[in-house]
Structure 1
């Protein structure tokens, strides 16, 4: 009998949480249920994290700004 990978994850979490007090377990159940029953079922589009940088400045202007914001501190702090 083969167990799907998702079940292994659930079993790992269960082993971690099985010794929690009942009140904490109930709060977790409520939070998980709310996350399933929420009205917002829109899917997060991970690809929206990628793309070209949009800016009115030229590449040279951005580079110059980055360089001008650098702060060098020659003093070495003791630990």
Structure 2
């Protein structure tokens, strides 16, 4: 938009299209808009507790840690003095 163009609200923009509808169509549109306001779209919240325990194993935490440590590979050479 250039500086000479006036700001127009979204409601005014749509009203420009809809003002020429017949009365029945306008009433139907009002009904649908009203119904959409009543329908609250709720997104289910994921509780933080549900994120815990995602990795399931028969091994204990200590066994998993020991296995991870044992599988480490060091390939750098450390020079001794």
TM-score range, shorter chain: 0.3 to 0.5
Instruction: Give the TM-score, by structure 2 length.
Output: 0.40
Q: Which structure: greater helix fraction?
A: 1
Instruction: Give the TM-score, by structure 1 length.
Output: 0.41
